[in-house]
């Protein structure tokens, strides 16, 4: 495996664990404000991010590459509104998409087709993640200012259940 590709994949493990921390922080924000459905949605999002980290971890191990775990940064933002949290989520997903694209480009440049195939799932997943984050913002814009509508949206988000990724390595 190309050295740059290996480094980027290894770094992505840390970035995915950070994403889990970030979404746990978002979950805490909503839980503290009595929005258990929103808290549930982000708790499940955190589980997904941990799974993503483990997929990168397992891929590197399957490719006989060294995995180096680094410290995970603490989320450091405070939020003044529900919308700020949702907007931060969308911005973070766009950032993760850029990271996946950078790894894909490095794999392409080094003709690492196996890594490109592995990353195909993540490219699709990031499209879904950005859509979900954008949809949350749209729903908050539509319903967030009306307490009854916010209650119903919160109930909708409370129904989300965890589903492990189906990527086979």
In the prediction, which pLDDT does 164 show?
A: 81
What are 42-73's pLDDT values in tens digits?
999 999 999 999 999 999 999 999 999 999 99
pTM of the model: 0.93
Residue owning tokens 């894909």: 104
In the prediction, which pLDDT does 165 show?
A: 77
In the prediction, which pLDDT does 128 show?
A: 96
3-state secondary structure of 73: coil
Going from the C-alpha of 9 to that of each of 53, 80, 133, the distances in angstroms are 10, 34, 24
Q: What are phi and psi of 6, to 5 degrees?
A: -60, -45
In the prediction, which pLDDT does 163 show?
A: 85
pLDDT surpassing 70 at residue 167: no
Residue owning tokens 């949809």: 135
Q: Are 46 and 17 in contact (CB under 8 A)?
A: no
Which residues neighbour 159 within 8 Å (Cβ) at sequence distance 6 or greater? 37
């Amino acid at each position: 495996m190309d050295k740059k590709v290996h480094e980027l994949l290894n770094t992505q493990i840390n970035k995915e664990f950070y994403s889990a921390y970030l979404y746990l922080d978002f979950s805490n924000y909503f839980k503290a404000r009595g929005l258990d459905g929103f808290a549930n949605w982000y708790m499940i999002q955190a589980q997904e991010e941990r799974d993503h980290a483990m997929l990168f971890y397992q891929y590197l191990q399957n490719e006989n590459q060294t995995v180096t775990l680094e410290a995970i940064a603490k989320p450091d933002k405070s939020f003044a509104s529900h919308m700020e949290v949702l907007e931060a989520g969308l911005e973070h997903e766009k950032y993760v998409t850029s990271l996946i694209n950078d790894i894909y480009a490095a794999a392409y440049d080094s003709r690492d087709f196996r890594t490109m195939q592995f990353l195909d799932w993540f490219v699709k997943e990031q499209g879904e993640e950005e859509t979900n984050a954008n949809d949350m913002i749209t729903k908050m814009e539509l319903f967030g200012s009306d307490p009854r509508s916010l209650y119903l949206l919160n109930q909708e988000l409370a129904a989300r259940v965890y589903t492990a990724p189906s990527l086979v390595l």
